[in-house]
Chains A and B, each alone.
Chain A
Amino acid sequence: MNAREKLGKYRPLTYYQLMEVTLRELLVEKGLTSEAEVKAEVEAMRARTPERGARVVARAWIDPEYRKRLLQDGTRACEELGLEIPQLKLVVVENTRDTHNVIVCTLCSCYPRVLLGIPPDWYKSRNYRSRMVREPRKVLSEFGLRLPRNISVRVHDSTADMRYLVLPMRPAGTEGWSEQRLAKLVNRNSMIGVALPDVPAAKKKPKSAKTRAR
């Protein structure tokens, strides 16, 4: 392989790539935005990671008053932690001993990006979007989460102006843990509802808590 080939082969732009470049160049040319602004926005988007959501969950685990405020008004409770939720309302849904929540957007791919960052590809797939509403237990089991029938499944279809975040149950064996330590257990999938939080390392992972590799 010569140096030139190492740089990669030329491939023509796909339809959507071409559309993006065309639109972006037009907007810049007309002075409606600038390349710098676009770059800053992309970087801000990349900087948002599920760690933001995990902070919210961990706080709710250690502070019952905060948890109450979070369930009542998710947007405002996030702002308390300095997490701005622009232009939408955040609804936090709580998992309990008898209810498990899971989030989907059947119409497109609405996702709490501001707390979880860029959505995983499967979240946007037709397979997940169409089947999660119709056979949630089967889809959850494909993620390795087999729910007993005494736990009811509550699916949230994010069809309009709300965005959802699942507040998972605090794992057993974490009594007295600090907020920072707890936050490390909160994986992205547990906040979508297709997994449980990680279990404390000392204990053996129960089968039902196994999550798909992130």
Chain B
Amino acid sequence: MAEAKYSVGQKVRVMESYPVGHVRTPFYIRGHSGTIERICGSFPNPEELAQMRDGLPERPLYRVRFRQKEVWPDYRGTDADVIEVEIFQHWLEAA
């Protein structure tokens, strides 16, 4: 299992990057900051798997919690509403 760089509760930012190819980081969450909710383990890199490669070494995967009001400036729910997204470590940076 690859080493997880971030710990639960830590603040992280999703990179604002737009590479071509198969990517499992939704567009709407790129560039947004949230906190690590849990570490899911390590998994083969889907961006490599999509190119018919083995996806190794495995990459740590996190569930990151974002405040909806931070993600959508015009969000009409409450301040406590959140969205959680699975993000691979190579898409995160410390915030």
B40 at the binding interface (Cβ < 8 Å): yes
| Residue numbers in B under 8 Å from A149 (CB-CB) | 77-78
Interface contact tally, CB-CB below 8 A: 75
Interface centre among A135, A136, A153, A160, by most B CB within 10 Å? Answer: A160
Give the A interface residue count (CB, 8 A).
22
A180 at the binding interface (Cβ < 8 Å): no
A158 at the binding interface (Cβ < 8 Å): yes
| Residue numbers in A under 8 Å from B75 (CB-CB) | 134-135
Which 9 A-B pairs have CB atoms at the shortest separation, nearest pair first?
Answer: A152-B80, A160-B86, A155-B83, A157-B85, A159-B86, A161-B43, A153-B81, A160-B24, A137-B77
User: Which residue of B is nearest A154, CB measured?
Assistant: B82
Please state if B78 and A155 are interface contacts (CB–CB under 8 Å).
Answer: no
Please state if B26 and A160 are interface contacts (CB–CB under 8 Å).
Answer: no
Q: Main secondary structure on chain A at its contact with chain B? A: mixed
Please state if B81 and A152 are interface contacts (CB–CB under 8 Å).
Answer: yes
| Residue numbers in B under 8 Å from A155 (CB-CB) | 68, 81-84
| Residue numbers in A under 8 Å from B63 (CB-CB) | 91, 162
A133 at the binding interface (Cβ < 8 Å): yes
Give the B interface residue count (CB, 8 A).
26
User: Which residue of A is nearest B28, CB measured?
Assistant: A133
| Interface residue ranges of A112-139 to B (CB < 8 Å) | 133-138
Please state if B43 and A157 are interface contacts (CB–CB under 8 Å).
Answer: no
A81 at the binding interface (Cβ < 8 Å): no
A18 → chain B, closest Cβ, in Å?
24
Please state if A159 and B77 are interface contacts (CB–CB under 8 Å).
Answer: no
